[in-house]
Chains A and B, each alone.
Chain A
Amino acid sequence: DTAVSQTPKYLVTQMGNDKSIKCEQNLGHDTMYWYKQDSKKFLKIMFSYNNKELIINETVPNRFSPKSPDKAHLNLHINSLELGDSAVYFCASSQGVRGGEQYFGPGTRLTVT
């Protein structure tokens, strides 16, 4: 059983397009996250949701819009894709907002051409 799953695993698209990445966790966690890993492997948090409520928004361009329909799902929609958006996007989840390790999904490699 996959604990945190993401779809798609690979996404190749052209500049200016709009795309979405989906994330689901079956761990019963109430907090989910989106991280971005750039070409130098540096990982940085983008967003965090707790029980469907946005609790962290790390100065991400407003072309990025997360949506959490329920606490098991956190999707990431990106408008007007730019070359600099090319990266690996990781979804993660944890129990609670103040503790516990974060379990990561397999990542989505986004390539913008």
Chain B
Amino acid sequence: AQKITQTQPGMFVQEKEAVTLDCTYDTSDPSYGLFWYKQPSSGEMIFLIYQGSYDQQNATEGRYSLNFQKARKSANLVISASQLGDSAMYFCAMRERVQGAQKLVFGQGTRLTINP
């Protein structure tokens, strides 16, 4: 079963608009973490934002915020005032405990294109 689901393969947004990228997850572990990474066309993976399962408030980092709805098991990324440089692949990931360690399980990704 897919543990991280990103239902939007691609999104097109006008510059300066806000955009929400969807992510739902599935886990029975009460302790987990959720991450968003950006992968521009140059290929590197850039960490954007993190939300812990016990965090009371939604995480924010500059123009990025994470809309964490624990009961719905969703962790959507909101980018405010989008810029052309935001065009990239975006990956949602969940930290999963395994064998006393942790690994990231990634979603399929959403390709975001910002139009001028």
Contact = CB atoms under 8 A, between A and B. Distances in A.
Interface of A: 31, 33, 35, 40-45, 48, 50, 55-56, 58, 88, 90, 92, 94, 97-99, 101-107, 109
B35 A97 contact: no
A45 B94 CA distance: 12
A104 B44 contact: yes
Interface of B: 33, 35, 37, 39, 43-47, 50, 89, 91, 93, 95, 97-106, 108-109
Contact of A48 (B33, B101, B108): B101
A4 B44 CA distance: 11
Given A98-B97, A101-B35, A45 B45 contact: no
Contacts of A88: 43
Contact of A41 (B46, B50, B109): B109
Given A41-B108, A99-B102, A102-B104, 13 more contacts: A41-B39, A41-B109, A43-B91, A45-B103, A50-B101, A56-B98, A56-B101, A88-B43, A98-B97, A98-B102, A101-B35, A103-B47, A104-B37
A43 B106 CA distance: 6
Q: Which of A43, A44, A104 has the most CB of B within 10 A?
A: A43
Contacts of A94: 102
11 contacts: A41-B109, A43-B91, A44-B106, A56-B99, A56-B101, A58-B103, A88-B43, A104-B44, A104-B46, A107-B45, A109-B43
